[in-house]
Structure 1
Amino acid sequence: MPPRKAAKAAAGGIDALPDEVLHHLLSFLGAQDAVRTCVLARRWRHLWRSATGLRIGGGVGEMREFVDNLLLLRGRAPLDRCEFCLDDSDDSDDDTGRVNLWIRQAILCEVKVLRLQGMRCEGLPLSSQHLTRLHLYGVLLSDDYLNFSSCMALQTLDIISCSILCAKILSQSVKYLSVTMGCFSFSFRTHVFAPSLITLRVVDYWFMTPVLEAMPSLVDASIRVGRQTSDCCDYSEYGDCGHEDCVSCYGSIHDNNEMLLLHGISEAKNLTLIAEPNTGPTFTKLKTLLLNEHWCVAPYFTALAYIFQHAPVLEKLTLELFTKGHKHELEMKGRYFAMEKSAAISKHFKIVEVRCNMVDGDVLKVLKFLCTFNICKTTANPFHFWFNISKIYFVPANPTKKAHMLGVRSTNLGVK
């Protein structure tokens, strides 16, 4: 069957569907393919103008005329979702201005979900009473573009592999914020004002650490700071290189003696920290916490002790002590009884898990330190650490019966 007749036959099979359904189906097509459906039949001639989704991809130069005419002919037909994936823009000022006009037109169409990729966004911030989700991927962001004070319906903000050259990320309404592989400025710090946040994720960023302002509604936070930040010293693992004029170790990451990242997330209930440790605030709502090996530094374990002393409702602590790689083969679980809890630790504390890929001297030092908080022993029933090939448990000093019940072939590590 000739292609044109085949297309007409396919159209005939869905021609009984109402216009609203067809508008939704067209939203899954690229903009050019959606427009091409106008040749299928008389009814399809103008359906593409009211498609509830718009997907525009390609280079700005080659798409100029098409997108200009497309947006003109669509008028202000409402949009549920709009995507601009521009992978080869030449970043000229004319193209940047044109793309920003395209985005403003989508805002005028009351778009709810907006995705921007591979472009430069600068100038005045967005203003919308309908935008609920914004996804930014590989975008250069500058000026006040991340000021969403006029987007009161916005709840989800994803920033992935973007250059963030804005002084502020500001939103009174955003509840879910994720910044992944972001590149901040190397000359100033970006302040994050998001008092309604429930979930925060900041993972693997470059240059200056952002300042997280108070987030009283925060429930879940995940922070992973790599050594690619400007706040990490090339001559020290733990911020103590010994040179008093080293900004990275002794000056850069502090505001009033509180860690920039930790200040904003002190209200979190569940927290994952993969970062360089330092002084921080009190975590008044924190119930579960994951820390990596950088928070467990012998001989004094200052950072770990600080967490115990400044997390008054902490229930569960997980320590990942990896000497190589990022996968654990061994897991230890420890508990203690209320009558023996240390006064320096949360009265709600129930369990500590230690994950590692081998039990070496550094791991043993951590286990001994935990014992100082009476986590792994009681007066009446002292505990030892025992392990088998797959898991490590805290079991009584005479573990024969219990080990048999658990199916554990044990070897005493000699830690009391």
Structure 2
Amino acid sequence: MPPTKKAKKAAAAGGGDLTGALPDAMLHRILSLLPAQEAVRTCVLARRWRHLWRSAPGLRVVRAAGRPPATVEELQGFVDHLLLLRGGSPLDTCELSFDQIRRQDIPRVNLWIRHIVMCKVRVLVLHFHPHCQLDKLPLVSQHLTRLELSGLILNDSFLDFSSCPALDYLDIVQCYFSSSLTNITSQSLKRLRIIKCYTGSRPHVHATNLVSLHLDTITRTPVLERLPSLVKADIKLNSQCRDFCSFDDFSGGCNHEFCGGCRGVQAENCVLLRGLSEAKNLALVAETKMFVFRRDLKWCPIFRNLKTLLLNECWCVPSDLSALACILQHSPVLEKLTLQLFSMGPKHKVEMKGSRHPSGVSAAMLKYLEIVEVKCEVVDESVLDVLKFLSSLNICFTFKK
């Protein structure tokens, strides 16, 4: 569509730039998507552009395309002046990403973050490499709704979000929990992701309004306090997790002097399952030697709301299907069960779909169960044992390759 007369007149006034005919709100949006260095350079385009960048609601101090890695040492003068000239202009989103941070740079970075928080930022993304130790003071913001952290050394104080009453989403990726006892505390948090993080001890999650939880590749399984609002949880514990028994003890109590995973865990109560007991949808996947899930079954709660459940082979140890039996017995309203056995997927060579016969042994225990899926690479003896167990619950299968 050709530009209107009004747009042509505005373009002529702006020095022939058709983009200059756009309203300020749209230009601010465009500037918010640019790296900060490029956004500032637009001040030379025309008189109208001179100060637009100062009030853009988005700020991205990141590595620009085709540029060398962004380091604090090289950008400190630029960022200092950038924040000074912006003053207290409100920020909707802000991203700070640096590929190199020296020890002496950390106080300056902490000051930048505090200034950005004072600008009422709603979405804050912090990505640092190598790991950076942030301020030990907790964040205080009435406006922060989303926080994404990557490459940070996190302490107990920083993870106390009780002074961030609007915080809804927390994403922690490739971070290091430095405290011997780390608490993630928030009364407003609804979505939490912790992925590829190192923890010296078990973090404790206190988030009573949490709706969605995703844990994947964490060195110590966190202790989940009561999560009464939880709807969905996806838990994956792989071999990098230290809750791993080197001597095939699935109770978490072999206490062998050379087993760093099991030692000292006997005194702890239920770690995961009690906190997950209110969820409607669960995916519980772990390496076979992981003992956390099976150990938690000693205190297994009733999953009163659970409708869909995905499990892998760690729940089906050869010649011992007691873990699978236990969680099914404690899931009275379960509607769909998926067993992903010795197959990572997403494509599986063998898929079997089954359903419960309305009469028989399982009628009382699984009376709402409608769909059972078994996915695997090959139907070997271990898979056959699982199928026999399910058959004893009056579940019949059809095969699909």
TM-score range, shorter chain: 0.7 to 0.9
Relative distance call for 1:241 and 1:176 in structure 2 (3 A) is: closer
Distance, in Å, in 2 between the alignment partners of 1:11 and 1:307 is 69
Residue 177 in 1 paired to residue 173 in 2? Answer: no
Matched, 1:48 2:60: no
Q: Which of the residues 331, 352, 357 maps onto 2:372?
A: 352
Deviations 1:239-290, CA, capped at 9 Å, x for gaps = 578556757347527633x2x1222111111000002331232212111100
1:122, 1:143 within 8 Å by CA — same for their partners in 2?
Answer: no
Which whole-Å CA distance do the structure 2 matches of 1:321 and 1:352 have between them? 13
The structure 1 segments of at least 4 consecutive aligned residues displaced by more than 3 Å after TM superposition are 8-11, 237-251, 323-327, 385-388
Q: Distance in 1 between matches of 2:324 and 2:210?
A: 26
Query: 1:375 is matched with which residue?
Result: 395
Query: Does 2:129 align with 1:124?
Result: no
Deviates more, 1:245-254 or 1:307-316: 245-254
Question: How many percent identity over aligned positions?
Answer: 51
Partner Cα separation in structure 2 for residue 158 and residue 31 of structure 1: 23
How many angstroms does 1:297 deviate by?
A: 1.4
Assess, with a 3 A threshold, how the Cα gap between structure 1 residues 121 and 293 changes in structure 2: closer, same or farther: same
> Relative to structure 2, which stretch is displaced further, 140-149 or 211-220?
140-149
CA distance in 1, matches of 2:376, 2:280: 25
CA shift, 1:308, in A, is 1.2
1:288 is matched with 308
Match of 2:226 among 190, 214, 239: 214
- The 1:29–1:326 alpha-carbon spacing in structure 2 relative to 1, beyond 3 Å, is closer
Judged with a 3 Å threshold, the aligned counterparts in structure 2 of structure 1 residues 250 and 312 are, in CA distance, closer, same or farther, namely farther
The structural deviation recorded for 1:312 is 1.3
TM-score, structure 1 normalization: 0.82
Per the alignment, residue 414 of structure 1 pairs with: none
RMSD value, Cα: 2.3
Q: Is the 8 A contact 2:142 2:166 kept in 1?
A: yes
Query: Could you list the per-position Cα deviations for residues 165-220 of structure 1 after superposition, in whole angstroms to 9, with x for gaps in the alignment?
Result: 251111111111111111112xx3211111111111001112x2211111111111
- Show the 5 A alignment for 1:143-162: 143-162=156-175
The alignment of Structure 1 onto Structure 2 pairs a total of residues equal to: 367
Provide Cα deviations, 1:3-41, integer angstroms capped at 9, x if missing partner: xxxxx9887212222322222211111111111111122
| Residue from 95, 106, 113 that aligns with 1:96 | 106
1:250-269 matches, cutoff 5 A: 251-252=264-265, 255-256=268-269, 258=270, 260-269=271-280
Q: Aligned equivalents of 2:137 and 2:105: distance in 1?
A: 16
How far has the Cα of 1:164 moved from its partner? 2.1
Q: Is 1:316 aligned with 2:327? A: no
Aligned-partner Cα distance in 1 for 2:252–2:52: 65
Change (3 A) 1:288 1:324: closer
Cα contact 1:173–1:196 (8 A) shared by 2: yes
Specify the alignment match of 2:321 in structure 1.
Answer: 301
Aligned AA (1:180)? I
TM-score, length-scaled by structure 2? 0.85
Residue type of the partner of 1:109? C
Instruction: In structure 2, give the amino acid aligned to 1:82.
Output: C
Q: 1:373 Cα deviation (Å)?
A: 1.8
Equivalent of 2:87 in 71, 75, 94: 75
Q: CA offset at residue 372 of structure 1?
A: 2.0
Q: Which amino acid letter does the alignment assign opposite residue 45 of structure 2? A: L
Q: Alpha-carbon deviation of 1:63? A: 1.1
Over 3 Å counting, the alpha-carbon distance change for 1:333 and 1:253 in structure 2 is: farther
Distance 2:324 2:309 in 1: 11
Q: CA deviation at 1:237?
A: 6.9
Alignment of 1:110-121 (within 5 A): 110-118=120-128, 119-121=132-134
- Is the 1:238–1:294 Cα contact (8 Å) retained in structure 2? no
Equivalent position of 1:191 in the other structure: 204
Contact kept? 2:31, 2:56, Cα under 8 Å: yes
Instruction: Read off the aligned partner of 2:213 and give its amino acid letter.
Output: L
